[in-house]
Structure 1
């Protein structure tokens, strides 16, 4: 049991740290060197296809609308995001990705897709099910223990 604990602890910590470092390096060295990890995750939370209300994106990121406003201002300045008036109610302003923002979204999504493919490559269906169940259990633990509302 102690050996399993040590192996899992090392793997989880190392994997988490590696993912963050790889994402940061990819951003700094790639076409989107002007984006931070927080900004790329904001772009990801906005989604590709439809304009969203600030409150909707803030809730998804589990941050305040005020905090999101600062991030969106930076993303608008960098031309990744645009503000749009709602056609049915001109008082409502929504946010949407620009062409540049959609490209950043696709590149980040490809990173995640490649990561998942590499993770499940060579696994049997049963092994995939066990991996999913284990990660779901870990995810549930974090949400319950640390009151994450995402």
Structure 2
């Protein structure tokens, strides 16, 4: 029974982290570059709208539900370190928790909050937008790689 639960949680973590990695990948590879190509006021307004609509039950479930599963997997890995998949589960969980969730909270959300406070057509907005594009995208690359490697490690753990 416990082994089936572990397999199920690992599968959920693999799917969740893969889904989140895909969202982050899309932003890094074409959403942010597209927003950078348009006038700052339009880019700011579009990103402000994206940041509001991103806070929805489905995305929050994928992002934070996966984090909750990772917490359980990390505890399991620490308590059952002799299991062949414990290292993969622990590293995958920590990468997701620190690299996807931690980076989101520490870097991307504060940048989003700063962007939310400016008027799209203002000089302050244009100045902020230039820095925002660079910094937000950099941290999004980190989130993408962390979630992607987590997916890989969870998938490897399933095979052990």
* TM-score normalised by length of structure 1: 0.32
Report which of the two has the higher share of helix: 2
Q: State the structure with bigger RCO (CA 8 A, min sep 6), 1 or 2.
A: 2
